[in-house]
Structure 1
Amino acid sequence: MLFDTPFVSLSVNKRGRDFCIGDLHGCREMLGRLMDAVAFDQGRDRLISVGDLVHRGPESVRCLRLAETPWFFAVMGNHEAMQQGAYYGAIHSSGRSVSSMCEYDGMNDPLWPGKPDQAHMEGILQRLPLAMEIPLRDGRRVGILHAGLPAEWTWDNVRAISDREEFLFEKLRPGLQPAILWDRQPIIAATAAVYHTEESELRALYPTMRRYQFSQVTKPVAGLDLLVSGHTTLKKWPLAVGNRQYIDRGAGKADGSLLMVELGTEHYWEVPDPRHDPSMPVSEHTGFKRAGHDLPWLTPEELATMERTGRPPGDPNVQLFYPGLRDDNF
C-alpha cells in the first residue's frame, strides 16, 4: 500500500469535542443521524474514524470524501486497503474481494475500478494514514488503529512508522502493517473474558495453550493511555479490555448499527441500519462491556508447568467458538 504519511499526530482540540465512530461502510445517512444527536459543530468538534469508510453501504464515495473535510480524520481500514489494491491491480476487480463489496450497485458502483474519478479516489486513499495519535485536554494520549495491536508490539513501534521509506519496505517490524489492518486476536480473547467470567468455565472451554495466548494478547498496550479500534463486529455492545476499546457494531449490514463514542470516555450513541428500522432512532449509553486484562487465565498447576518446561502445555491449533462476535467476521 502507498501512504503519504503512515503516522499522524493531531493537536489537542481546545475548542470543542472529539468523537470517534466505528466502521462506517458507506452509511452516510446513519452518520448524519448520530451527528445531529450530539449537536456536532463542524467548526469546533472533530470526528475520528477507525477506518473502513467504504463498501457494503450505499454511499461509499460520499463517506470516503469525508476525509477531505477539515473536521474529519480517518485511518486506513482493510477495506480501503482492498480498494487501493483493486485500483493498482493487486486484486482483480471481477474477483470476490471487490465485486462482493460493491453489492449495492455492482459494476455501476462509483468505486468500481476504471470509473472516471478513480484518480481522485486513489488520492484520498493514499492520504489516509495507517495510525493516528490524539492528545486529550487531560494529558492522556489516544491511539487509533483499524483492527488493533497484537501484544508483541508497543505504541513506540507504531509511532516509528512515521518514517515512510523505512515502513514501506517493512524494515522496522515485519508484519506490523497487516496486523494493524487485519488482526483479531486481542478482541477474540476479550470476548472470551467477557462472556466466560468463571475460572472453571474458561478452563472447560479453552485449552491451556489458547488461554496462555489470551493472557498475552489482552495485556495493555504499552506507551499509550487508550487504543480505539474497529474491524471486528460485536453482537451487542462495544467492548473494553485493559486500555483497549473496540467499537464496530456492523454498519452496512441490515441488522447492524453505527456507534459513535466521545473520545476518551465510554459515553456513546448508536443508530440502527434503516433496513432494520427505517426511523433510525438514536440511543445513548454510558459504559462499555468490560473485561479485566488480569484474569486468572492459567491455573497454578499450569503456571508451574510453564516454569518447569518453558512453554504452556497443550495444542495451540484448536478450533474454538468465540462468543460475542458475529459469525460473519470469519
Structure 2
Amino acid sequence: MLTRHQANIRGRDFFVGDIHGQYRLLQEVLQGVAFSKSEDRLFCVGDLIDRGGDSLDCLKLVFMPWFHAVRGNHEELASNALREGEGSSAWALWMINGGGWVVESGVGETRRVLQAALRHLPLAREVTVKGKRIGMVHAEPPTDWSRIEEADPRALVWERSRIQRGDETPVADVDAVVVGHTIVERPLTLGNVHYIDTGAFCTGRLTLVDARELLR
C-alpha cells in the first residue's frame, strides 16, 4: 500500500506527471534540469503506459534505482486485460483507453514486464524533503494521510471527486500531496494537493516539479 522514502542527502527530488508512453519527452525534461541518475530521484504519479508507443520502455523505468512511481489506473487496466485475455471485456476496455501499443511490444513480453513491474508500484509513496513529508498517489488522497493504509484502493487510483468539487481542504497529517490522473491545463493546487498531469500524450507538456517548490 505505502512505501516511505527518507530524505535524499545526495541530490534533488523531482515529481513528474502521467508519462503515458512518452519516453523521449521524459528524457528531454530530465535533461532540462540536468537530472543526475546517480544522485537525484524521480517520483512519478503513475500511468506510465498507454496512449504512447514507448509504453514498454516507460514501464521498465520502475526497475531503475532512481525512479519511483505509484500504480495508476492504466497499469490496472493493462493488468486486468492481460489476466483475462484477448476477447474479454477487460481487453476491449484497455484497447479503447490506449493499450494498442501491446501489439508491437508483444503480449507475452508485456505481460512478463508488467507482472514484475507491479511489485514496484505501490498505491502510495511518502517522501521526506527538508524535514517535511510529501505524499503521492495517482488519483485521490484520503482526507487524512495518517489513514492512507486504510484508504479505498479504488479511490487512490480512480477517484476525481476532490478536483471536481474544487475542494481546497488540506489533507491532514502531511505537508503536501502530489497526484495525477486528471488532466489540467497547468499545474493546479487545491489546499495542499498538487495536480501535475498536464496531458503529455496529447499536449506535449510533461510537468516536472522540484520537490522543494511544493513546500513553499
TM-score of the pair, normalised by structure 1: 0.61
Output the CA distance in 1 between the equivalents of 2:113 and 2:204.
Answer: 30
Which residue number in structure 2 is paired with residue 185 of structure 1? 161
1:192-228 Cα deviation digits (max 9, x unpaired): xxxxxxxxxxxxxxxxxxxxxxxxx431101100000
Over aligned residue pairs, what C-alpha RMSD do you find? 2.2
Structure 1: stretches of 5+ with no match in the other structure: 1-5, 162-171, 191-216, 268-286, 288-330
| Higher share in helix | 2
Structure 1 residue 94 displacement after superposition: 7.3
1:226–1:264: 8 Å Cα contact kept in structure 2?
no
Residue of structure 2 equivalent to 1:243: 192
Q: Judge conservation of contact 2:81–2:90 (CA < 8 Å) in 1.
A: no
Tell me the equivalent position of 2:61: 66
Give the distance between the partners of 2:37 and 2:29, measured in 1 at CA.
Answer: 13
1:229-268 → structure 2 map (5 Å cutoff): 229-235=179-185, 237-253=186-202, 255-265=203-213
Supply the distance in 2 between the matched residues of 1:238 and 1:232 (Cα, whole angstroms): 11
Moved over 3 A (4+): 93-96
Native 8 Å contact 1:51 1:77 kept in 2: yes
Gaps of 5+ in 2: none
Aligned residues: 214
Secondary structure in structure 1 of the residue aligned to 2:156: helix
Do the aligned partners of 1:148 and 1:184 also contact (CA within 8 Å) in 2? yes
TM-score, normalised by the number of residues in structure 2:
0.91
> Is 1:27 the equivalent of 2:22?
yes
Is residue 42 of structure 2 the alignment partner of residue 50 of structure 1? no
Letter in 1 for 2:176: L
Secondary structure of 1:55's counterpart equals coil
Q: How does 1:1-330 map to 2 (within 5 A)?
A: 6-89=1-84, 92=88, 95-100=91-96, 101-103=98-100, 105=101, 108-110=103-105, 114-137=107-130, 139-151=131-143, 154-158=144-148, 161=149, 172=150, 176-190=152-166, 217-235=167-185, 237-253=186-202, 255-265=203-213
Distance 1:27 1:115, change over 3 A: same
Which one scores higher on RCO, CA 8 angstroms, separation ≥ 6?
2
Give the drift of 1:252.
1.3
* Pair 262,95 (structure 1): closer, same or farther in 2 beyond 3 Å: same
**Which protein is bigger by CA-based radius of gyration?**
1
Q: Is the 8 A contact 2:84 2:91 kept in 1?
A: no
For 2:199, the aligned partner's letter is G
SS in structure 1 at match of 2:108: coil
